[in-house]
Amino acid sequence: MRKLTGIFLLALALAPAVPAQKSGIHREDMDPSCKPCEDFWRYANGGWIDRNPIPPQQARWGTMAVMNEKNRERLKTILEEAAAAKQPAAPHIRQIGDLYAACMDTAALDARGVEPIRAELDQIAKISDLAALRATLTRLQMTALAPASLFALPDLKNSKEMIANIGAGGISLPDRDYYFREDQRSQKIREEFLKHVERMFVLLGEPQDRAAEAARKVMAFEKELAGAMLTNVERRDPYARYHKMDLAGVNALTPNYDWREAFRLFHLPESTPVNVSEPKFLKKLDEQLTAVPLEDWKTWLRWRVAKNAAPHLSKPFRDEDFYFSSTVLTGVREPLPRWQQCSNTVDRLLGDALGREFVARYFPPQAKKRMQEMVENLRATLREELEKADWLAPETKKNAIAKLNAFYAKIGYPDRWRDYSGVEIRRDRYFESVRSAGEFNRRYQMSKIGKPIDRNDWGMTPPTVNAYYNPTMNEIAFPAGILQPPLFDMEADDAVNYGAIGAVIGHEMGHGFDDQGSKYDADGNLREWWTPEDRKKFEERTACVIDQFNTLDVGEGLRHNGKLVVGEALGDLGGLTLAYRAYRRSLKGKEGPVLDGFTADQRFFLSFARTWAVVDRPEAMRLRLNTDPHPLPRFRAIGTLQNMPEFHKAFGCKPGDPMVRPPEKQCRLW
């Protein structure tokens, strides 16, 4: 009797306040035949992985790709409605509708062939001296196709000020090492690249033998540039990329090119400070202006223009570009459906116009509020962790807490939407519309130089399934696109939300203290705020993770480059640790509910592992191991959990189990 009353009372008391929350567990997605302490990734995701082979249009497939696909479906609805909207529609609706419709009209693209870039190619053909070459390189700044591109970035040592930067580029393969590596796969890619460039020249109307010769010239030209570039590991050190100077200083590096021309193009005052990220590269490029025969420069410029335009030209160009960029490099068998390509293009070029519609329909204000609460709970947790971190000197601790307090959190979407009224979109002129939007955006970016930084600026569009930390603005950002199930589920219990989006929040916060982020202070300035002893201890912690990823076998004898992935791996480790403690903190000393036969801790870790239910094609996996600072998804789960005693306890894993690193080798960030 008493018991019944008790249940009744409990139901009465709890039902209105706590609606039934999903456990977040999908047993059919797991593989119970695999032991959690053997391979937790497989245990948590094996069922899903087996049922969901990589679609022929994708290089990688998994949780975030499925979320992305769902967001794309939503964008499709918005774009189809916009394209069909009766006049007078709101201007931004008309723009996204027109650009989408123009993109979908492949018959019109095919009918135009190479015509959209004909004028540009003719201009290149007319180059007859160094002055004309210089003028062309300046003009290419507008489309960011010049090998050394100007861009706006805060001064790394005075982050309140946006200054001009000159980057290093101009290569077509994914990374400079692709021009030099001698392994079989790299040699094969270079062979395919030569054939690809050759076929592209044939499409431009070049006879076969000359096309083959042109391809060799392009390769030789790019190899020279690649040889002067920093490696992707060297580039991780912000000090290696910081060389601030004035315009005269830049011009002293490039006796053959006057940067005043490029400054004029974007109306930059000559007093604008410049950071040359790779002076060695810039010098080399300048030498090439006179060392490389003019005809070879022209060959490369034609290639550059055609390659960049190919996805927006007729079918033979689109197919050729797809074959090399997707099939050869990543193993993808079929292009994305046209509507997905088009929604991606609109998202990339008119992100705010499309994003505001996405947010209005699919991102309720309650979602933003719950996310804000989680961010603040993680922040408070990290503050406590830093306060009790006995390995840090008081001074370092104080600086770290100041940095944490200053983290600026962006959630969902920008406060103000950009106005694209300067962009000219015509349904019968797809290529020109893409260029108009591209140039408008380029001018917009460049116009930031000389102005104070703008907190309203986002590095990703609202439907994007991703998040970021920006060290110079000391901010973490979570677009609405990632704040969707299963990563963020308004109907799910806290354990699964902390394991998924909580770990993402922690990951981005962790970037503030990784191998790169730790070099920036609370104001986003590149400044050493660690005592020398603490820096040394911090580097021991990072060395632990570097060693772990250097030695993890990812299959076929392949390994990660620990120094390349260390920042992301530290973000994962610090992030999950933090999310776990924040979850425990949110329980205020109680235990979380057992649901569907799993404890709250178990569901937290299962939810984390599900985020990384992602598989790459073998080609894409190799590309990522060479270029991606993120570890492979499977090892983001395994590598992180191997270091966490909280996980070992939740699943009863013992020393010697594959999911347990020997205690003396377990890595920790905090």
- The site for Zn ion (CB under 5 A) is made up of 568, 571
Q: How far is the CB of 141 from Zn ion (least distance, A)?
A: 30
Q: Which is nearer to Zn ion, 320 or 568 (CB)?
A: 568
Q: Which is nearer to Zn ion, 565 or 595 (CB)?
A: 565
Q: How far is the CB of 50 from Zn ion (least distance, A)?
A: 28
- Judge contact between 586 and 375, C-beta under 8 A: no
Q: Which is nearer to Zn ion, 63 or 172 (CB)?
A: 63
Q: How far is the CB of 643 from Zn ion (least distance, A)?
A: 17
Contact residues for 428 (Cβ-Cβ < 8 A; gap 6+):
102, 105, 108
Q: Which is nearer to Zn ion, 414 or 575 (CB)?
A: 575
Q: Which is nearer to Zn ion, 479 or 571 (CB)?
A: 571
Put the strands of the sheet holding 150-155 in their side by side order.
Answer: 150-155, 158-166, 274-276, 244-245
Report the distance separating Cα 158 and Cα 162, nearest Å.
9
Q: Which is nearer to Zn ion, 357 or 568 (CB)?
A: 568
Contact residues for 218 (Cβ-Cβ < 8 A; gap 6+):
172, 197, 299, 300, 303
Q: How far is the CB of 505 from Zn ion (least distance, A)?
A: 12
Q: How far is the CB of 77 from Zn ion (least distance, A)?
A: 30
Q: Which is nearer to Zn ion, 441 or 516 (CB)?
A: 516
Q: Compute the Cα dihedral for 209, 213, 216, 218 and give only its sign.
A: negative
C-alpha 587 chain-centroid distance: 33
Q: How far is the CB of 552 from Zn ion (least distance, A)?
A: 18
267 sits in the region (left: phi over 0; alpha: psi -120 to 50; else beta) called left
Q: How far is the CB of 510 from Zn ion (least distance, A)?
A: 8
Q: How far is the CB of 175 from Zn ion (least distance, A)?
A: 19
Report the distance separating Cα 363 and Cα 456, nearest Å.
18
Q: Which is nearer to Zn ion, 359 or 509 (CB)?
A: 509
Q: How far is the CB of 630 from Zn ion (least distance, A)?
A: 7
Q: Are strands 158-166 and 274-276 parallel, antiparallel or unpaired?
A: parallel
Q: Are strands 60-62 and 614-616 parallel, antiparallel or unpaired?
A: antiparallel
Q: Which is nearer to Zn ion, 524 or 571 (CB)?
A: 571
Q: Which is nearer to Zn ion, 355 or 571 (CB)?
A: 571
Helices (H), 527-652: 532-551, 562-586, 600-611, 618-627, 633-641, 645-651
| Phi–psi pair at 245, nearest 5 degrees | -155, 175
Report the distance separating Cα 336 and Cα 87, nearest Å.
31
Helix (H, G, I), strand (E, B) or coil at 231: coil
Q: How far is the CB of 567 from Zn ion (least distance, A)?
A: 7
Q: In residues, how long is the chain?
A: 670
Q: Which is nearer to Zn ion, 347 or 568 (CB)?
A: 568
CA angle 287, 288, 290 (to 5 degrees): 80
C-alpha 73 chain-centroid distance: 21
Q: Are strands 475-479 and 468-470 parallel, antiparallel or unpaired?
A: antiparallel
Q: How far is the CB of 504 from Zn ion (least distance, A)?
A: 9
Tokens of 263: 């400054």
> How large is the C-alpha radius of gyration of the chain?
26
Q: Which is nearer to Zn ion, 309 or 570 (CB)?
A: 570
Q: How far is the CB of 500 from Zn ion (least distance, A)?
A: 15
Report the distance separating Cα 455 and Cα 477, nearest Å.
11
Secondary structure string (H, E, C) spanning 378-397: HHHHHHHHHHCCCCCCHHHH
